[in-house]
Structure 1
Amino acid sequence: MSLLNLPLSADLDRLGEQMHDLARAQRSFQALLEAVVSISGELELPAVLRRIVRTAMELVGARYGAMGILDDTGEQLAEFVPLGLTPQEKAGLAGVEPPRGHGLLGHLIHHPRPLRVDNIAAHPDSAGFPPGHPPIRSLLGVAISVRGRVYGNLYLSDRKDGKPFDRHDEGVILALAGTAGVAIENARLYDQVRNSAERFQRLLLPQLLDLRPFEAGALYRPARTPGQLGGDWYDAVKLSDNSCTAVIGDVIGHDLEAAAAMSQTRSMLRALTFDGRIPPSAALTQLDRIMHLTGGQLTTACVARIDPVGRGWMLRWSSAGHPPPLVVLPDGATHYLEAEPGLPLRVDVTLPRPDHSRALPPGSTVILYTDGLVERRDQNLTQGMRALAALARHHAREPVDQLCRTLADHHPGDGLDDMAALILRTPGP
């Protein structure tokens, strides 16, 4: 009777193995679909690369993973992105040069076919590991191509269950590599579009002229949306009587028309403010009339003029629906120049525009900015303005150029709108 049962038992064993393999394939397929969605959701290239490595490790249960990016010659690695190292393992590799593509890494560079190695030390192309490198035994490597050219290699080491990588693991990672190539290309295109748009935007903005004895600095940061043009601008001119006129503005919109309107509006306002005999309100009123005749776009702006008065300075400004200037006094105290903001340009040219004035002691800092610097979609604008004032107060003693970088790097806005700021500091006593 036992002899009759042998074939049936063997068949059941094979069927069980096939069912196990089928279940594993289904799990891997589902995980792969989720991985495709996850990777495709990233746009920043560094984040894409790390997401690819992390996803590959999860798909096959690898303890370590890395992405090696080839240089322009395609002969060695220009960048190496490792994941999975513990803090202690990272400390052990402190000061060690990243891999350049020797040993098995070089083998995969020159033979861009899937590579599975059960025992790295026994492989004839193995070059060993540098001091402090954690011990690893197995390797699974596949090439990642972008537009038909090998972009880099994905490396996985040591399954957590202690088993060597198998053909199923190789197939899953090969499928992931195809998706990874598309995600990398999308991220590179995103960078190109964003950089081109930012470069075009910066070409429209002026280079600050020599404003001495005032210290001056300006910043512009585009929105995170790729290819989005903005209407933010700034300008400043020193006049013959040692006064200085500063302008900040924002044309509503995020397209080519907004950028073109910004350039035209900035040029017209510079011509109007260059004549120091007219107050800021008159410059905005004349600009509004011109825009009504020529068909400009809805715009907010603030024109400020700083005049020497006795041993100090007098700030005179007028706003067309723009956020109020922020003043940082020499002792670090901050306050916004809250006053009648006026209507934006291109709304109603018949209404008067008021002028405002405030005395400034020597060494005061005036910050003009656009709303992108403080605006968040999930909170009130007042909260962003408070955060900006606190940031400026904390860094009040920094040189103006450094203060610009600080505001740009730590701005309270959410980055969904472009931002600009112009900072002027009056001479000390």
Structure 2
Amino acid sequence: MSRKRSTDDGDELLARLGSLTAQARERAELQRTQVELAIALQRGMLPRDLPRRRGLRIAVRYAPACSGLNVGGDWYDAFTLPGGRIGLCIGDVQGHNIEAAAFMGQVRAGLRALATVASEPGTLLCRTNDLLLSLGSELFATCTFLRLDPATGLLESARAGHIPFVWATADGKSGVVDDEGGPPLGIEPCTEYRATRHRLTTGGVFVLLTDGVVEGPAMTIDDGLDQVVRLAGAAAVTGLEVHALAAAVIKGAESVGHEDDAAVLVVGHGEPDERP
């Protein structure tokens, strides 16, 4: 009898282990499917084509999160505005899951649509903020929007809770843009966002990025921004091509030890950029 009970106990244990293993496999498969769906959503919502104008150089880079479901929050965009100006934006949605990826698509689509009727950066962010609040989502997004006139190099910018961008000129000067930002989009109604003006000079660059590029367990945001400032300054002085600079900036994101998405958008003013 004792042998039979021992055999029955062993069979029961094996059955329980088999059930737990099957459940673990189902959860792993579900997580893998969710990750693939989130990545597909995000990749499908990022722009496939960038504006091309004589004297305008644009480059982008994106690196997905390192593990788990940490995907879906970051985006970039560049498109032509009425009158021939160029709209440039970069942002980060709260959260890293399928919902964040879907919300990112709403933010990007809403911003593009509103830019056709109100392209002044401060006004555009204000209207986008009101739109997101009307959707009733519990998520919010940070964003920087730039309006660039390729013919003159005049650039106007506004920020909604996003980290500042980096600038560099061909004469060796570089730094972090010191402007007044507002709260993230989708938090406070009737928010005003102040726009500031800059000049994109010949050989100069502006580098827009998300916090996954410059902030993580191994690096503070100030140290990360300093790293990008050095890269941008060296690139402007040596005439490094904007695609190479974007690649170097996203490569530097590996040193922050992040588990977040990372996006970079570089815009330069100089010779025509023939790369797609």
Range class of TM-score, shorter chain: 0.7 to 0.9
Deviation, 1:317, is 0.5
Per the alignment, residue 241 of structure 1 pairs with 83
CA contact (8 A) 1:211 1:238 kept: no
Instruction: Quote the Cα distance in structure 2 between the aligned partners of 1:360 and 1:391.
Output: 17
Is 1:327 the counterpart of 2:167 in the alignment?
yes
Per-residue deviation, residues 59-89 of structure 1 (Å, max 9, x unmatched): xxxxxxxxxxxxxxxxxxxxxxxxxxxxxxx
Instruction: Quote the Cα distance in structure 2 between the aligned partners of 1:197 and 1:262.
Output: 11
Identity of aligned residues (%): 31
Deviation, 1:360, is 2.5
Instruction: Quote the Cα distance in structure 2 between the aligned partners of 1:290 and 1:196.
Output: 26
CA contact (8 A) 1:372 1:415 kept: yes
Instruction: Quote the Cα distance in structure 1 between the aligned partners of 2:40 and 2:240.
Output: 28
State which of 257, 265, 276 in structure 2 corresponds to 1:422.
265
Per the alignment, residue 355 of structure 1 pairs with 195
Structure 1 residues 197 and 357 mapped into 2: Cα distance closer, same or farther (>3 Å)? same
Per the alignment, residue 212 of structure 1 pairs with 53
CA contact (8 A) 2:208 2:264 kept: yes
Structure 1 residues 194 and 290 mapped into 2: Cα distance closer, same or farther (>3 Å)? closer
CA contact (8 A) 1:208 1:235 kept: no
State which of 126, 131, 144 in structure 2 corresponds to 1:302.
144
Deviation, 1:378, is 4.3
Deviation, 1:201, is 2.4
Structure 1 residues 199 and 394 mapped into 2: Cα distance closer, same or farther (>3 Å)? farther
CA contact (8 A) 2:57 2:267 kept: yes
Instruction: Quote the Cα distance in structure 2 between the aligned partners of 1:410 and 1:325.
Output: 16
CA contact (8 A) 1:365 1:424 kept: yes
State which of 180, 203, 206 in structure 1 corresponds to 2:44.
203
Q: Which has the larger radius of gyration?
A: 1
Structure 1: gaps (5+ residues): 1-188
Per the alignment, residue 183 of structure 2 pairs with 343
Deviation, 1:231, is 1.2
Number of aligned pairs? 240
Instruction: Quote the Cα distance in structure 2 between the aligned partners of 1:379 and 1:227.
Output: 22
CA contact (8 A) 1:211 1:244 kept: no
Per the alignment, residue 373 of structure 1 pairs with 213
Given the two structures, how large is their TM-score scaled by the length of structure 2? 0.78
Q: What is the correspondence of 1:220-231 to structure 2 with a 5 Å cutoff?
A: 220-231=62-73
- Matched to 1:424, the amino acid is V
Per the alignment, in what secondary structure is the counterpart of residue 153 of structure 2? strand
Per the alignment, residue 173 of structure 1 pairs with none
Q: What is the correspondence of 1:14-53 to structure 2 with a 5 Å cutoff?
A: none
Instruction: Quote the Cα distance in structure 1 between the aligned partners of 2:218 and 2:95.
Output: 20
Structure 2: gaps (5+ residues): 1-29
Per-residue deviation, residues 285-305 of structure 1 (Å, max 9, x unmatched): 001111111124211001101
Per-residue deviation, residues 236-279 of structure 1 (Å, max 9, x unmatched): 1123533211011111101111100000110010112234x541
State which of 104, 107, 121 in structure 2 corresponds to 1:262.
104
Given the two structures, how large is their TM-score scaled by the length of structure 1? 0.52
Q: What is the correspondence of 1:5-404 to structure 2 with a 5 Å cutoff?
A: 197-213=38-54, 214-275=56-117, 278-296=119-137, 297-308=139-150, 312-396=152-236, 397-404=239-246
Per-residue deviation, residues 197-223 of structure 1 (Å, max 9, x unmatched): 544421221113332221111111111
CA contact (8 A) 2:204 2:268 kept: yes
Per the alignment, in what secondary structure is the counterpart of residue 395 of structure 1? helix
Deviation, 1:193, is 7.8
Structure 1 residues 250 and 364 mapped into 2: Cα distance closer, same or farther (>3 Å)? same
- Matched to 2:100, the amino acid is A
CA contact (8 A) 1:373 1:419 kept: yes
Deviation, 1:374, is 0.2
